[in-house]
Structures are given as structure tokens and as C-alpha cells.
A = this chain, B = another copy of it.
Amino acid sequence: MDNFDFYNPVKIIFGKDQLKRLRDLIPTNQKVLILYGGGSIHKNGVYKQAVAALKNHEVYEFSGIEPNPRYETAMKAVEIVREKKIDMLLAIGGGSVIDAAKFIAVAALYEGTDPWDILTGATKPAGSVPIGVILTLPATGSEMNSGSVITKESTHEKLAFMSPLSFPKFSFLLPEAAATLPKKQIANGVVDAFVHVIEQYVNYPVNTPLQDRFAESILQTLVEEGPKVYANPADYDAMSNLMLSATIALNGLIGMAVPQDWSIHGIGHELTALHEIDHARTLAIVLPGLWKIFRKEKKEKILQYGKRVWQITEGSEEERVDEAIARTVEFFESLGVKTKLKDYNVQEDSIEKIAVRFEERGWKAFGDRRLVTPQKVREILMLQLG
């Protein structure tokens, strides 16, 4: 096994009637800035409960954080943090709000000219305002990791940073609050978590049976519980199983000592940046094409995945690889998540644009074995055109 570090100090508080504990987690002399997106936290009652629990705190709020959270929006919240001398950020919602909170928290303490430098990697964050999370949407895993993805509207750039300073201090996981989500968001959450696992698991074998089985455990649970939640978001047990799976999919556990790819995400981000396709849907588009193009390189793990997640045991190796890809596509489509570019009105000219963006950015080859060249991106997306 390769050497690795694992560290994840996030306190998870899972379940029902938990939010009253907020007051014990944030000292009353601290000023809190509540961050959220649209109105869903009013609809699901979480806003009211959070504010009630913090009735003895000085509380400010900042709303309007969008999906694929914008640098431009986050910088407005940074001003409030600085001006009001905020001690604690409380992100309520899903991955977008949490990602924004992580960036706002480090940007507020950044002493250079432009905190965007943290995202380009030109500088590392030197400090962070503490963050707490109330998760109402199972998907990104941001509630239990130290990563954040931010989009700059002016340049259509979507970049990520990670910092050990950015782990939330605590995250409430509230399956009940997710019961009122639109089905589209639930489907996105299932696919997002699924592909997070795939990026860490379907690469090449390195004799890590425990991590492999943990990855398969999450995938199997998503395959079983995802459709239940999609059919009935008020199924508390199924939603609980989905929410826990999505959180653990990207908290470092299954990533220990294994190769990680993330090229599905790399290509998907471009589709979101250019066409505003939901993040999860871009992953569902890219994955089948990428596996077809790299079927030889990923063969052993695709076969293992097919056998353990989909019980595919018959046929030649090539047939089993095909079936594993087909079953995956079928699973996404069963959740209403389309996997072809034309389903999203994206035409061939966009494929060329995307390939050129990678070339211009100097991404000559990325992925776990640096095999994904701009030319391969072209081939992958052409297969998924429709």
C-alpha cells in the first residue's frame, strides 16, 4: 500500500430535532453570518429552527448564493464578514453554499490583492473564519471535506482549492429537510455522489481491498437507495442512507492510498462553465464516453465494478465491460439524468471549444495516469454527442 495521510476533524451531527444543539456549538459572544441560497430553507423550516437556536447570538445573513457559486457573489459576503467582524460562518443548504462559505472564510482573512489567487493556486490560505454547516441536500460531500469549487462569472472559469483550514467545525446532516427537494436535485445528488466514488475507484488496481470494498459499499447503497428516494423523497430511512453515503463518498475514506482520476470532473466543469448544465448531469454525460475511450486502461476495475455492483459475471471481458457501462447509463437515465450532449442541446462545435480551452490552459494531459489529452477530450465528447 502506498503511504498516505488521513485527517478529518469534522463533527457530524445526524438526524432529527438536532438543531437546538447549535447554541452549544457556537459561543454566545460570537457573531454569526448565516449563508444560504434561495428560499428552500424557509420552506423546509430549517432557517426558522436555526435562527431560534441562535436567538442569543448576534446573527447576520447573506442569501442568494447560486448553484456553481460565483466568486463575484462570494466577494460581497466577504465584505460583510470584514465589516461586521464575523466570528463564525453558518452555511445552510447544499454543496454550493458550503463551497462558497469555505471560500468566503479564507478570502475574508486574505491579505493580498485578490483572493482569486487562492483558487488559481498562486497562494495558499493563511487563515480561515470557522465554518459550521447545516446540510439539507445530499450530494457533494463538501460538508465533510476541505475542498471548494468556485466559478468566476466574468471569465467562465471554474476552479477548486483545498486547505486543512477549510474543514467545517461541525456539520448537521438533516435528512428531513431534504424531503422537500425537487426530484431533479435528488437525482443530481445521487449521480454526483456516485461519480465521486467512481473517480476514486475505477482506475487501476493497487491491492487495496478494503478501500475498494468501501467504494463498492457506497455504490451499492446508492444503487439501492437512490431510486427509493427519487420515488419518494419523504422516505426518511432511504434519504438517511443516501445522505450518509454522499457524505462519506468524498470525506477521504475511500481515497486513502488509491489512484484518483477526476478527469470526469475536469471535463464536466467545462460543460457547466459553457452551457450551465447541472454539475451532476455533466458527470453523467462524460463518464460513459471516458470509460469507452479508456476501456483498456480501466478494464480491471470496470470488470470488478461490474461484478460487485451489478453482478455481471457472464460473457467475455469485452462484453462485461460493455454491460457495466450500459448498466451505469441505465441507472443514471432511470433517475431522469440524460447522458448525451444533444439531450442538453449541446452541438458538435462546443466539443471543439472545450478541447481548445484545455489546450489553451496548457492541460496537456490529466487524469490518474495523465492520459486525458485535449484530443481524448474530443473523442470522449464525440461519443456522447447523441
Contacts and interface: CB of A to CB of B under 8 A. Distances in A.
A68 B323 CA distance: 53
Contacts of A11: 5-7
Interface string A31-69: 000000000000000000000000000000000000000
A3 interface: yes
A42 B238 CA distance: 52
Interface stretch (A92-100, A202-210, A298-306, A362-370): A202-210
A232 interface: no
A221 B1 CA distance: 14
A209 to B, nearest CB: 5
A255 to B, nearest CB: 13
Given A15-B2, A244-B1, A217 B213 contact: yes
Nearest to A15: B3
Nearest to A206: B237
Contacts of A221: 209-210, 213
A344 interface: no
Copies in the complex: 2
A5 B1 contact: no
A18 B3 contact: yes
Contact of A210 (B8, B9, B15, B244): B244
Interface in A203-240: 207-210, 213-214, 216-218, 220-221, 224-225, 236-237, 240
B210 A245 contact: yes
A208 B240 CA distance: 9
Interface residues of A, number: 42
A18 B225 CA distance: 40
Contact of A217 (B15, B217, B256, B257): B217
A218 B253 CA distance: 13
Interface string A1-35: 11111111111111111100000000000000000
A17 B3 CA distance: 9
Contacts of A15: 1-4
A22 to B, nearest CB: 14
A175 interface: yes
A5 B9 contact: no
A56 to B, nearest CB: 23
B18 A14 contact: no
Contacts of A7: 9-12
A14 B210 CA distance: 15
A209 B241 contact: yes
A350 B157 CA distance: 73
A240 B15 CA distance: 35
A241 B175 CA distance: 34
Interface in A61-106: none
A178 interface: no
A248 interface: yes
Contacts of A16: 3
Contacts of A224: 209
A208 B2 CA distance: 31
A241 B210 contact: yes
Given A2-B15, A3-B16, 9 more contacts: A1-B14, A3-B18, A6-B12, A7-B9, A14-B257, A210-B218, A210-B244, A214-B217, A216-B217
Listed from nearest, the 5 A-B pairs whose CB atoms lie closest are: A3-B15, A213-B217, A1-B240, A9-B9, A6-B12
Interface of A: 1-18, 175, 207-210, 213-214, 216-218, 220-221, 224-225, 236-237, 240-241, 244-245, 248, 253, 256-257
10 contacts: A1-B236, A3-B17, A207-B241, A208-B241, A209-B220, A209-B225, A210-B244, A210-B248, A244-B256, A253-B253
